[in-house]
Amino acid sequence: MTLNIAVSYAECSARERLALIVDRGSFHEWLPPAERVTSPHLAQLGVPCAFDDGVAIGRATLSSRPIFIAAQEGEFMGGGVGEVHGAKLVGLLRRALRDRPDAVLLLAESGGVRLHEANAGLIAVSEVMRALLDVRAAGIPVIVLIGGSNGCFGGMGIVARCADRVVMSDVGRLAMSGPEVIEASHGVDEFDARDRALVWRTTGGKHRWLSGDCDVLVEDDVAAFRAAAIDALDASAPVTLKRLEDEHALLAARLRLLPDAVDGDEAVALWARLGVADAARVPDMDVDAVRALRVV
């Protein structure tokens, strides 16, 4: 008898996720830790480097089909994108244009640009976006998985929304400015970063699912992420004028739903106006129940 106990995606390291998402033993790493391609900036600031600069890249098979894959390690510098980290992502994406795997998987967990590397990190993120859009335009689906406890924020939040498909768990978070950044710039009355329920109502997987910002909502379970990634292997969605116009229409409609300040919680009000039944109960519902509620 085999016991099938769910393995939490959020609690895995980047390398554990890599090993469990792809076909067993199929991951072949490029620029592995022993190559020591590390940050040229961190040591000057007294910060230890990581042998992989916080991201592992390589090729693998998924359901016996060839893919490229990258996994960011959220525990190292919050998954921040530095010069080398970004260059590894760009190199992987450009190689995908040449070798044409069936898909590129990005296991994103990042606070965005690694501030220690400032301009180099900003440039790196913009290069990742350009490279990702080139791969998408070539008809190779880029699939982003978001379920790490550090979420996917800043420049990496934008990168995620450039992809063909976004898969999230309910504990995953996706946004541009992180909670602390909003509080620091607009004050605690605007956003209380310590209010965890508020943070998840406004950035978490359920919210992104109900508002149409992610394409698949899964449990915090590595096997569920793997299944969703396999489903997405043929989900290529090149950017077309129609797709852009649809996206703009979706965003404009969302903006019209909340014209003024609302009484009570804004996320709940948005879900209700989107037509979600029983919106107030969403935070307490399990993933299956929330999956059935989407109307966008």
Sites of contact with other proteins (CB under 8 A): 13, 15, 32-34, 43-44, 46-52, 73, 75-76
Q: Between residues 68 and 76, which has the closer beta carbon with respect to other proteins?
A: 76
User: Rounded to the nearest 5 degrees, what angle is found at the Cα of 161, between the Cα atoms of 156 and 164?
Assistant: 120
Taking the complex as a whole, the smallest distance from the CB of residue 85 to other proteins amounts, in Å, to 13
Listed residue (20, 14, 7, 118) closest to 62, CA to CA: 20
**Count of other CB atoms within 10 angstroms of residue 33:** 14
Q: Between residues 59 and 206, which has the closer beta carbon with respect to other proteins?
A: 59
Q: Between residues 75 and 134, which has the closer beta carbon with respect to other proteins?
A: 75
- CB contact set of 225 (below 8 Å; sequence gap of 6+): 9, 17, 21, 145, 147, 167, 169, 218
72, 107 in Cβ contact below 8 A? Answer: yes
Q: Between residues 43 and 280, which has the closer beta carbon with respect to other proteins?
A: 43
Q: Between residues 75 and 195, which has the closer beta carbon with respect to other proteins?
A: 75
Taking the complex as a whole, the smallest distance from the CB of residue 112 to other proteins amounts, in Å, to 17
What is the SS3 assignment for 211? helix
Q: Which DSSP letter does residue 220 get? A: S
Listed residue (196, 225, 210, 172) closest to 62, CA to CA: 225
Taking the complex as a whole, the smallest distance from the CB of residue 77 to other proteins amounts, in Å, to 8
62, 230 in Cβ contact below 8 A? Answer: yes
Q: Between residues 5 and 34, which has the closer beta carbon with respect to other proteins?
A: 34
Taking the complex as a whole, the smallest distance from the CB of residue 50 to other proteins amounts, in Å, to 4
Taking the complex as a whole, the smallest distance from the CB of residue 52 to other proteins amounts, in Å, to 8
Taking the complex as a whole, the smallest distance from the CB of residue 8 to other proteins amounts, in Å, to 16
